[in-house]
């Protein structure tokens, strides 16, 4: 039975990865049910101290909270800030303000789920009702299942099921937010400084944070660049993608708003359709990886496909350091790693190539690369980062087949054809002739201040094929439930293809 709202209630909205006021499902529901409302954010010491949060993302979080606090203040509401273990801080706060209800938006990682279960059980003992809402994704993993009722393991059928669901039950953004009165006599706490959170020490210039900036960026992208997205999205030398990932990561904008705005743009300018549809499919990759994480939490520590847990990874500290510092001697890889160091963001094509290089050319465990990305990316996100790394390492759900190994030279020649990306981030090569830019060691006089390749790609490719060959299961050994699931999904996919849906089965 749906509880009848009584507006005399005192309600707490706990902000987490949803730092916005508009189209925020939990906040809207809390506001609709509350007589008095108070907004809370907790700096979780475990997340601040762990691998999960590097300095640039913490500073972006602080800037996003600053904006959120200002947005709330213009509506007469404080943002209460606490620091510590949410399992203690949230129940203590709910008790202190005598809350009747506590609302939050669902989070899907295993740590977040344990944390939320602990908060739920603590506040329930105090008689506070918890209401969890779906917000981070348009459709959750529980809403999208194969015909056999299992979680999807392959992107294309997931995407087709996603679009079918959209056709039946599209999820639109919430209407305007009407906030009730604030809980009296509660002040906004002061935000910690970056230094207090140990988040200084680099010169990365962050994008403007906050909800308004996210919407401006979306509008600017839909106003032009999206037109060439289908062709340009693989070119790191062009500014052809939305760069919305840091905003989506902290929830400064909702996926529903992205879909709604994209459809509005398509209605106004139908010629944008190919770019827009391709872009929306990328947003569905994001939802796919959230679904994978929710259904298969073991991916956080292990390979999605257990057979690849038997792979032996190299302890190559010098190789790892060269990769981190952008000094591998492969210009496209080095440009990408320096883009990450200098901007806190990296282009998707470049992420795929550097992840392949680390795991397949250097044979280093994907988890080390994943952690490094997580500590450097402003958009570092458990689901997408883990999904991207396991894809590149061929250990994941719908991964790059293990025998496909990116050649860092040809990838550079193809996706940075004029060399603008390499020249921008690897100044040692700025004067290099086009012909040798992606393979400077072949130049008659190789640049003196740029390293020679740390490995020979052709040799490493053959070596990696042998490593994978040794652990992949023999065809007769394949079977069991996982295989049956995949077969069921391919049947779903085949049906989709017969019906003319999901023509593009290519990954990325
Ligand atoms: C090894 C690796 C690690 C990655 N780590 C992250 C990460 O930590 N955080 C993150 O947000 N993305 C990650 N990605 C996915 C992708 O690279 C970024 O989402 C994208 O580059 C962000 O740029 P954009 O906002 O301009 O994307 P656009 O091309 O404009 O796409 C729009 C949005 O769709 C989503 N999206 C696009 N591509 C993907 C994808 N392949 N997987 C999941 N979502 C996607 C993002 O939310 C993105 O903002 C990773 C990819 C790889 C290969």
Q: What is the pLDDT of residue 51?
A: 62
CATH number at residue 248: 1.25.40.80
CB atoms within 10 A of CB 114: 11
CA 315 vs CA 69, 318, 385, 497: distances in Å:
45, 9, 22, 44
Question: What is the full per-residue pLDDT of the chain (508 aa) written as tens digits?
Answer: 555 555 569 999 999 999 999 999 999 999 999 999 999 999 998 888 766 678 999 999 999 999 999 999 999 999 999 999 999 999 999 999 999 999 999 999 999 999 999 999 999 999 999 999 999 999 999 999 999 999 999 999 999 999 999 999 999 999 999 999 999 999 888 899 999 998 987 889 999 999 999 999 999 999 999 999 999 999 999 999 999 999 999 999 999 999 999 999 999 999 999 999 999 999 999 999 999 999 999 999 999 999 999 999 999 999 999 999 999 999 999 999 999 999 999 999 999 999 999 999 999 999 999 999 999 999 999 999 999 999 999 999 877 788 889 999 999 999 999 999 999 999 999 999 999 999 999 999 999 999 999 999 999 999 999 999 999 876 544 444 444 444 344 444 444 333 333 222 111 1
Regarding whether 470 and 364 lie in a shared domain, the answer is yes
348 is catalytic: yes
Angle CA 22–23–28, to nearest 5:
90
- H-helix or E-strand spanning residue 362: none
Regarding whether 145 and 108 lie in a shared domain, the answer is no
Q: How far is the CA of 498 from the centre of ligand 1 (A)?
A: 30
Index of the ligand 1 atom closest to the CA of residue 389: 1
Q: How far is the CA of 286 from the centre of ligand 1 (A)?
A: 7
CB atoms within 10 A of CB 307: 15
Mutate to test the pocket of ligand 1, among 226, 254, 286 (most ligand atoms within 8 A of CB): 286
What is the three-class DSSP state of 394? coil
Regarding whether 263 and 274 lie in a shared domain, the answer is yes
In-domain check, residue 187: no
Spatial separation of the C-alpha atoms in residues 274 and 438, rounded to whole Å? 31
Spatial separation of the C-alpha atoms in residues 427 and 353, rounded to whole Å? 20
Could you list the residue range(s) of the whole structural domain that residue 400 is in?
A: 306-477
Regarding whether 129 and 152 lie in a shared domain, the answer is no
What is the b/e burial string over 221-251, where b = at least 16 CB atoms within 10 angstroms of the residue's CB?
bbeebbbebbebbbbbbbebbbbbbbbbbbb
Q: How far is the CA of 3 from the centre of ligand 1 (A)?
A: 39
Q: What is the pLDDT of residue 48?
A: 83
Spatial separation of the C-alpha atoms in residues 337 and 349, rounded to whole Å? 12
Yes or no: say if 94 and 12 are a contact pair by the CB < 8 Å rule. yes
441 is catalytic: no
Yes or no: say if 144 and 113 are a contact pair by the CB < 8 Å rule. no
Number of H helices and E strands in the chain, helices first, is 21, 6
Catalytic residue among 104, 323, 389, 402: 389
Residue 142 burial (C-beta neighbours within 10 Å; 0-12, 13-18, 19+): exposed
Q: What is the pLDDT of residue 485?
A: 47
Regarding whether 235 and 363 lie in a shared domain, the answer is no
Q: Residue 254 corresponds to which tokens in the numbers above?
A: 């909702």
**Number of domains the chain is built from:** 3
In-domain check, residue 2: no
Regarding whether 121 and 233 lie in a shared domain, the answer is no
Catalytic residue among 348, 413, 428, 463: 348
Catalytic residue among 282, 307, 413, 428: 282
Mutate to test the pocket of ligand 1, among 353, 379, 390, 391 (most ligand atoms within 8 A of CB): 379
Query: What would the DSSP string read from start to end of 61-96?
Result: HHHHHHHHHHHHHHTT--EEEEEE-HHHHHHHHHHH
Regarding whether 321 and 465 lie in a shared domain, the answer is yes
In-domain check, residue 183: no
In-domain check, residue 406: yes
Compute the chain's Rg from CA coordinates: 24
Regarding whether 352 and 469 lie in a shared domain, the answer is yes
Spatial separation of the C-alpha atoms in residues 77 and 484, rounded to whole Å? 53
Index of the ligand 1 atom closest to the CA of residue 246: 11
Index of the ligand 1 atom closest to the CA of residue 248: 47
Index of the ligand 1 atom closest to the CA of residue 221: 30
Catalytic residue among 366, 391, 402, 489: 366
Query: Which residues approach ligand 1 with their CB closer than 6 A?
Result: 233, 241-245, 248-249, 282-283, 285-286, 289, 348, 351-352, 355, 373, 377, 379-381, 384-385, 387-389, 392
Yes or no: say if 313 and 395 are a contact pair by the CB < 8 Å rule. no
Q: How far is the CA of 391 from the centre of ligand 1 (A)?
A: 13
- Among 113, 135, 157, the domain boundary falls at 135
In-domain check, residue 109: yes
Q: Whose CA is nearest to atom 11 of ligand 1?
A: 245
Yes or no: say if 374 and 366 are a contact pair by the CB < 8 Å rule. no
- Among 295, 322, 348, the domain boundary falls at 295
313 is catalytic: yes
In-domain check, residue 198: no
Q: What is the pLDDT of residue 401?
A: 84
Phi-psi domain of 23 (left: phi exceeds 0; alpha: psi -120 through 50; beta: other): left
- H-helix or E-strand spanning residue 255: helix 255-268
Task: Say how many CA atoms lie within 13 Å of 329 toward its Cβ.
Answer: 14
Residue 157 burial (C-beta neighbours within 10 Å; 0-12, 13-18, 19+): buried
Regarding whether 271 and 252 lie in a shared domain, the answer is yes
CATH number at residue 91: 3.40.50.620
In-domain check, residue 141: yes
366 is catalytic: yes
Regarding whether 461 and 314 lie in a shared domain, the answer is yes
Spatial separation of the C-alpha atoms in residues 498 and 187, rounded to whole Å? 60
Q: How far is the CA of 351 from the centre of ligand 1 (A)?
A: 9
DSSP secondary structure letter of residue 9: E
Angle CA 123–125–126, to nearest 5:
65
Regarding whether 404 and 291 lie in a shared domain, the answer is no
Mutate to test the pocket of ligand 1, among 136, 223, 229, 282 (most ligand atoms within 8 A of CB): 282
Q: For residue 251, what are the contacts with CB-CB under 8 A and spacing of at least 6?
A: 16, 17, 18, 19, 20, 24, 105, 135, 136
Q: How far is the CA of 369 from the centre of ligand 1 (A)?
A: 16
Three-state SS string across 257-313, please? HHHHHHHHHHHHCHHHHHHHHHHHHHHHHHHHHHHHHHHCHHHHCCCCCHHHHHCCC
Mutate to test the pocket of ligand 1, among 384, 399, 415, 506 (most ligand atoms within 8 A of CB): 384
CB atoms within 10 A of CB 330: 32
- Among 231, 261, 295, the domain boundary falls at 295
Q: How far is the CA of 352 from the centre of ligand 1 (A)?
A: 10
**Global model pTM greater than 0.85:** yes
In-domain check, residue 458: yes
Q: Whose CA is nearest to atom 22 of ligand 1?
A: 245
Spatial separation of the C-alpha atoms in residues 494 and 16, rounded to whole Å? 40
Angle CA 476–477–481, to nearest 5:
115
Index of the ligand 1 atom closest to the CA of residue 374: 8
Q: Whose CA is nearest to atom 43 of ligand 1?
A: 286
Regarding whether 346 and 273 lie in a shared domain, the answer is no
CA 31 vs CA 24, 26, 36, 59: distances in Å:
10, 8, 8, 29
């Amino acid at each position: 039975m749906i509880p009848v709202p009584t507006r005399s209630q005192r309600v707490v909205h706990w902000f987490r990865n949803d730092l916005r006021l508009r189209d925020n499902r939990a906040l809207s529901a809390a506001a609709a049910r509350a007589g008095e409302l108070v907004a809370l954010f907790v700096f979780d010491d475990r997340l601040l101290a762990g691998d999960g949060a590097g300095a640039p993302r913490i500073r972006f979080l602080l800037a996003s909270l600053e904006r959120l606090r200002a947005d709330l203040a213009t509506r007469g509401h404080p943002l209460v800030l606490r620091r510590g273990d949410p399992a203690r801080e949230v129940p203590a706060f709910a008790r202190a303000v005598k809350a009747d209800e506590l609302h939050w938006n669902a989070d899907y990682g295993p740590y977040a789920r344990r944390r939320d279960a602990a908060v739920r059980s603590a506040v329930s003992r105090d008689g506070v009702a918890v209401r969890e809402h779906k917000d981070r994704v348009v459709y959750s993993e529980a809403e999208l299942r194969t015909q056999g009722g299992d979680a999807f393991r392959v992107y294309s059928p997931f995407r087709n099921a996603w679009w079918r669901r959209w056709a039946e039950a599209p999820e639109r953004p919430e209407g305007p937010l009407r906030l009730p009165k604030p809980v009296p006599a509660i002040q906004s706490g002061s935000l910690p400084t970056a230094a207090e959170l140990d988040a200084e020490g680099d010169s990365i210039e962050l994008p403007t944070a906050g909800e308004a900036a996210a919407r401006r960026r979306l509008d600017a992208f839909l106003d032009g660049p999206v037109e060439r997205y289908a062709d340009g999205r693989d070119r790191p030398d062009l500014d052809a993608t939305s760069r919305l990932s840091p905003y989506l990561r902290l929830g400064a904008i909702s996926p529903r708003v992205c879909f709604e705005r994209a459809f509005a743009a398509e209605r106004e300018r139908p010629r944008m359709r190919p770019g827009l549809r391709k872009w929306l499919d990328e947003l569905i990759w994001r939802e796919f990886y959230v679904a994978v994480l929710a259904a298969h939490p073991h991916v956080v520590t292990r390979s999605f496909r257990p057979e690849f847990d038997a792979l032996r990874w190299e302890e190559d500290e010098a190789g790892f350091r060269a990769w981190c510092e952008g000094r591998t001697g492969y210009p496209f890889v080095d440009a990408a790693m320096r883009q990450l160091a200098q901007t806190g963001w990296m282009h998707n094509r470049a992420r795929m190539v550097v992840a392949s290089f680390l795991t397949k050319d250097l044979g280093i465990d994907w988890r080390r690369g994943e952690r490094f990305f997580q500590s450097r990316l402003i958009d570092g996100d458990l689901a997408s980062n883990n999904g991207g790394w396991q894809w590149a390492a061929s250990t994941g759900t719908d991964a790059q087949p293990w025998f496909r190994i990116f050649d860092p030279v040809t990838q550079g020649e193809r996706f940075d054809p004029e060399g603008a990306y390499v020249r921008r981030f690897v100044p040692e090569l700025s004067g290099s002739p086009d012909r040798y830019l992606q393979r400077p060691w072949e130049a008659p006089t190789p640049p003196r201040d740029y390293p020679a390749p740390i490995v020979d790609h052709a040799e490493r490719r053959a070596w990696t094929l042998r490593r994978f060959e040794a652990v992949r299961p023999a065809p007769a050994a394949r079977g069991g439930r996982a295989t049956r699931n995949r077969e069921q999904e391919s049947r779903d996919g085949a049906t989709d293809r017969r019906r003319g849906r999901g023509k593009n089965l290519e990954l990325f």
